[in-house]
Structure 1
């Protein structure tokens, strides 16, 4: 999104592609899986944002066995092959293929389809359904994506959803493991709402492979993630079964068929020929590390690329903190940074603005630190005295000071290749 618009992601993402299934969530901690979905198209955006939305990145590198899916049934043959006339064309898996694969990998029980997408459209594959093992209905969803790497393999340990520090989590459990094939998987058990209302539980597993396959499984102890009463004490699958389902090779085969995820061209110097926008989930990961530790992370979300946000609370009310990250912005520096902008010793331009919000909320103020590095990377951090820009202010000032916003925007983490 153009950073100057400071758009509210809840509005913009209603019509945005549900890329890598990650978006908005009322999480039990900063990484909780269950999200505040705005319409069916938002529901499955949560997963990649979850991958980046932790309060910290305390990955636990312990050994773990790669479990074999129930029954060992292979993924269905793709419904069709992309009509390119080339033998190298990627197969196309239909929504029905996604549903059949999920159904085959689940334990014995009754399964009914709720929603699905295949690999043939603009949005990433997913399968959502209601599963009943005889002990009550629970909703289960699986989302697939590919995490692009500029060159070579990615590091699953830095790409998988991290567990938060113990003192910052409200999850019942969370564990990240490194599998024998060097994939990383996080299995967590938590709640849909921070206050545990309705006893609606949200459990999940997030897996990333060295080749960039991203598999995210989420389940609830109700027939839907929101709006339905709980039907059982806990979601249907145990932590071990979640791990098995996420690690099934069938998902990787389907993820390989996602179009448009080929590796970026690499220049002779070893870097990408053209810098690309930073993924939203990665922005959230970096921002999570940079926020003051004494803030309670209430909610977070992101767009596919370039934008992420947290709603934080320091005990004085909720405050929205958002970050825009844009590469290749040097050519518009003159129009973005006027005579009042500061130029640091390394050439970084810094502009500070304090004024009213731009979404019409009564009494809302917006504090912004806008930075541009010499390589053209623009990082803009803004904080508000409300959780929603179009709603009335809930506190006198944003939760972060200008000095803290400046520290976030100028952090070297935004240019680091790893967190």
Structure 2
């Protein structure tokens, strides 16, 4: 973020302020300055007091997402508010249209709404630190239009005015306020001037979706396991299983690589080779996302046609959480059987 050097404190909500655009010669391309971004954010806020304004316009780096941030105070309550604008190429990635994946955001409280005109509004409330779920909270409103234009508004650091961040302190901006800020007409002109993103390569029509992966985990799980909480995100499916000794996350990635890709040769360089040429790599490691005592057991398979299946099990119901059991509910032999199943090549389920 670039500091603006604006006045330390200002009142907002008393009309539409000047956007603060610098003069430009006739015929010059329109830029959205840092000051303009901050003025637009101020204009979208309800009445209150703002300070510590900062942001990033498009005057120096047109390819960077424009943004603005400030401190907002109302009725003796204070928080940090920021907005960032994006443009996504079609097809819009599903993760940006959906609530956070519960495998990685276990304490998320989130809703998804389809609006008139095809826009999608995601409203989320999640702890700043998953290891302290009762601590400070981040509120997010993410509004995505059907053409890929997107506005993301965040509120964090909620506290009484003049105090440090406070657990349970009422936030000066409600979810409705954040939604209104995200839907402000002021952002539309800026979004329309942002460069068109390059087209994303489309995935193969026969690729398995995350939802199909989660359903396949359920179908392949041993009969003594209770399967619940199926979920997915782009390229990833998961479910929570329980053998009566605590919940355990099981996740899978299904990928198609070039059979001679040097990265795969490196990954599977010392792996076991089966009779049909399939490489199998086994790993037991601490969870890369933290969590006291959390471990991940992995079976990674790579077939001779470049088809790769990675199955993992965690000794907790989600990443970033402390262990809820000594080891995952599925052992390495069971993970191996699951990863080598032919079910992952099906795409009709």
* Normalised-by-shorter TM-score class: 0.5 to 0.7
The aligned counterpart of 1:4 is none
Alignment partner, residue 182 of structure 1: 118
Partner of residue 28, structure 1: none
Could you say which residue in structure 1 is the equivalent of 2:6?
none
Q: 2:297 matched to 1:367?
A: yes
1:340 matched to 2:269? The reply is no
2-side partners of 1:287 and 1:141: how far apart? 36
| Kept after mapping to 1: 8 A contact 2:214/2:230 | no
Displacement of 1:396 in angstroms is 3.3
Unaligned stretches of 5+ residues in structure 2: 2-12, 219-226
Distance 1:328 1:232, change over 3 A: closer
What TM-score comes out, normalization by structure 2 length?
Answer: 0.60
Against the structure 1 CA distance between its residues 263 and 223, is the aligned structure 2 distance closer, same or farther, given a 3 Å change threshold? farther
CA contact (8 A) 2:119 2:143 kept: yes
Aligned 1:95-174 pairs, distance under 5 A? 95-113=34-52, 115-119=54-58, 120=61, 124-149=65-90, 154=92, 159-162=96-99, 174=110
Q: CA deviation at 1:331?
A: 1.7
Structure 1: state its 5+ residue gaps.
1-39, 41-69, 266-270
**C-alpha spacing 1:253/1:108, structure 2 compared with 1 (3 Å):** same
1:233-252 correspondence runs (5 A) = 233-252=169-188
Q: Return the alpha-carbon distance in structure 2 between the equivalents of residues 203 and 289 of structure 1.
A: 31
Q: 1:18-37 CA distances to partner (integer Å, 9 max, x unpaired)?
A: xxxxxxxxxxxxxxxxxxxx
Which of these residues, 199, 203, 218, is aligned with residue 263 of structure 1?
199
Greater C-alpha radius of gyration:
2
Q: 1:197 and 2:134 equivalent? A: yes
- Alignment of structure 1 residues 3-402 onto 2, 5 Å: 76=19, 91-113=30-52, 115-119=54-58, 120=61, 124-149=65-90, 154=92, 159-162=96-99, 174-189=110-125, 192=128, 197-198=134-135, 200-220=136-156, 222=158, 228-230=164-166, 233-259=169-195, 261-264=197-200, 294=228, 328-332=257-261, 336=268, 340-341=273-274, 349=278, 351-355=280-284, 366-372=296-302, 376=306, 378-383=308-313, 396-398=326-328, 401-402=331-332
For residues 412 and 210 of structure 1, what CA distance do their matches in structure 2 show? 34
**For residues 182 and 405 of structure 1, do their structure 2 counterparts lie closer, same or farther at Cα, with a shift above 3 Å needed?**
farther
- State the number of aligned residues: 308
1:204 and 1:218 in contact (8 A); partners too:
yes
The verdict on how the C-alpha distance between 1:339 and 1:169 changes in structure 2, with shifts beyond 3 A counting, is closer
2-structure distance, mates of 1:142, 1:239: 14
* CA shift in 2, pair 1:263/1:365, >3 Å: closer
Please give the alpha-carbon distance, in whole angstroms, between the structure 2 residues aligned to 1:73 and 1:413. Answer: 56
Corresponding residue for residue 15 of structure 1: none
CA gap of 1:193–1:209, structure 2 versus 1, over 3 A, is: same
| Displacement of 1:211 | 0.9
RMSD: 5.8
CA-to-aligned-CA distance 1:151-183 (integer Å, 9 cap, x gap): xx6488x74233899xx9866x74432222210
For residues 39-98 of structure 1, what are the alpha-carbon distances to aligned partners after superposition, in whole Å with 9 as ceiling and x for unaligned?
x9xxxxxxxxxxxxxxxxxxxxxxxxxxxxx889599486699xxxx98x7x54343332
**1:116–1:125: 8 Å Cα contact kept in structure 2?**
yes
Q: 1:247 to 1:365 in 2, by over 3 A?
A: closer
| Contact 1:138 1:231 survives alignment (8 Å) | no
Shift of the 185–341 alpha-carbon distance from structure 1 to 2, 3 Å rule, reads farther
More strand by share: 2
- Aligned 8 A contact 1:321 1:381 in 2: yes
Summarize the Cα distance change of 1:99–1:371 in structure 2 as closer, same or farther, 3 Å threshold: farther
Distance apart, 1:187 and its partner CA: 2.6
Alpha-carbon offset, residue 231 of structure 1: 8.8
